[in-house]
């Protein structure tokens, strides 16, 4: 997306009276690429714009479709949460699915590809049995104690709607920020919201803001995606003075103050987010936080691996490398087909080497 289109989208979403004349086919395509087109539709509808033009009509059709799908996704979410709760898994709904309920005017305005759940690590097997009982499948993925702190569960309805849950036992996969906030702390400080008459646990606003800033930087290479920045904007807009102090405390304890500073500054730049002036010095760092590696403009995949290894002791480093280079046989056969396991490992290494070189050259 061009910088001009990015700036215009941000201006449209932050304007108290967005100009419908901006809504062209190209504008709609740019909004869809940033996953904010339903938000654009909601802003237009709130100002009484009729769906006469093809671009506006397409936006309103997308909004109606998102609303219908959200009913089914919410129904599935509360069913899964209730089943996990009944087995003592203590799930916390976080990231987009939680913010859709707590900070958006309507939950379908906040588009998401999946639903993120966080559980204690020792509940993993119990949670997997719950998903299996509910008819979910686990796609092949690289598993291990250190290489991945989440796994995916997928179920398709007869009509074609797909439900995707990402089950986490740490808040991030990167070792440097995996324990920035623990399940125990999120649970202790969390709040309860009601979805379809079912009580669901979500992070408190301060924790949610820290997680939003960590997620966009650590998992998405500090990308200025408007959807994630809009999340930060909405979260920041409602914080009390006490909650701002909690943000600083959590960011400092988790050593992610620089990531929070960066996310908030980008939100201010794009949406005019209001942040207390005295907050900035409290988030300022001397660059010593290990997580600051995610803010480097010249960041390469090798930097991520190096940061993971530095965060572990020697035993952990050896284990992580073994899990990266020699995934379980089940994954290898699912990903590369039948054949001798040794040859599949060679094939995977060659494919990975080519991809690695291309990434380093970008």
Q: What is the DSSP string of 162-213?
A: EEEEEEESSS-SSTTTTTSS-HHHHHHH-EEEEETTEEEEE--HHHHHHHHH
What is the per-residue pLDDT for 354? 47
What is the per-residue pLDDT for 301? 60
Q: Are residues 165 and 254 in the same domain?
A: yes
- Stronger pLDDT, 49 or 309, i.e. the higher one: 49
Q: Is the pLDDT of residue 328 over 90?
A: no
Phi, psi (deg, nearest 5) at residue 152:
-100, 145
Q: Are residues 233 and 334 in the same domain?
A: no
What is the per-residue pLDDT for 197? 84
The CA distance from 15 to 9, in Å, is 10
The CA distance from 162 to 113, in Å, is 10
Inter-residue contact 319 to 147 (CB < 8 Å)? no
Q: Are residues 192 and 325 in the same domain?
A: no
32-90: pLDDT as tens digits: 999 999 999 999 888 877 777 888 899 999 999 999 999 999 999 999 999 999 999 99
Q: Are residues 179 and 316 in the same domain?
A: no
| 269-282 mean pLDDT | 94
CATH number at residue 87: 3.30.460.40
| 333-362 mean pLDDT | 59
What is the per-residue pLDDT for 16? 82
- Percent of the chain exceeding pLDDT 70 equals 81
Counting the structural domains of the chain, the total is 2
Q: Are residues 136 and 17 in the same domain?
A: yes
Q: Are residues 345 and 209 in the same domain?
A: no
Q: Is the pLDDT of residue 3 over 80?
A: no
| 122-126 mean pLDDT | 94
Output the six-digit token pair for 232.
């930060």
Q: Which domain holds residue 312?
A: 301-361
- Percent of the chain exceeding pLDDT 90 equals 56
Q: Is the pLDDT of residue 303 over 80?
A: no
Q: Are residues 291 and 339 in the same domain?
A: no
Average pLDDT, the chain: 86
| 189-200 mean pLDDT | 91
Q: Are residues 9 and 67 in the same domain?
A: yes
């Amino acid at each position: 997306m061009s910088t001009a289109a990015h700036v215009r989208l941000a201006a449209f979403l932050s304007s108290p009276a967005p100009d419908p004349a901006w809504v062209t086919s190209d504008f709609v395509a740019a909004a869809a690429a940033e996953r904010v087109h339903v938000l654009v539709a909601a802003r237009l509808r709130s100002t009484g714009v009729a769906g006469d033009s093809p671009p506006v009509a397409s936006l309103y059709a997308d909004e109606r479709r998102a609303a219908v799908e959200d009913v089914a996704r919410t129904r599935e979410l509360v069913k899964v949460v209730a089943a996990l709760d009944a087995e003592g898994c203590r799930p916390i709904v976080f990231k987009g699915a939680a913010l859709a309920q707590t900070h958006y005017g309507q939950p379908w305005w906040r588009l998401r590809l999946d639903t993120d759940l966080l559980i204690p690590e020792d509940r993993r097997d119990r949670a997997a049995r719950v998903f299996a009982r509910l008819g979910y499948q686990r796609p092949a993925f690289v598993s291990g104690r250190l290489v991945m702190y989440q796994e995916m569960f997928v179920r398709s309805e007869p009509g074609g709607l797909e439900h995707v849950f990402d089950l986490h036992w740490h808040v991030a996969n990167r070792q440097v920020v995996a324990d920035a906030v623990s399940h125990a702390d999120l649970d202790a400080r969390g709040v309860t919201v009601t979805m379809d008459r079912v009580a669901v646990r979500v992070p408190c606003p301060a924790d949610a803001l820290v997680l939003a800033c960590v997620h966009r930087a650590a998992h998405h290479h500090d990308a200025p995606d408007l959807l994630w920045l809009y999340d930060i904007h909405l979260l920041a807009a409602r914080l009390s003075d006490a909650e701002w102090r909690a943000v600083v405390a959590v960011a400092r304890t988790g050593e992610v103050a620089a990531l929070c500073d960066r996310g908030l500054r980008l939100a201010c730049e794009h949406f005019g987010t209001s942040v207390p002036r005295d907050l900035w010095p409290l988030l300022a760092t001397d660059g010593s936080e290990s997580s600051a590696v995610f803010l480097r403009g010249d960041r390469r995949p090798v930097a991520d691996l190096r940061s993971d290894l530095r965060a572990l002791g020697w035993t952990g480093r050896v284990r992580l490398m073994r899990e990266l280079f020699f995934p379980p046989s089940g994954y290898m056969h699912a990903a590369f087909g039948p054949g001798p396991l040794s040859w599949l490992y060679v094939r995977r290494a060659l494919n990975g080497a080519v991809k690695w070189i291309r990434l380093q050259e970008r």
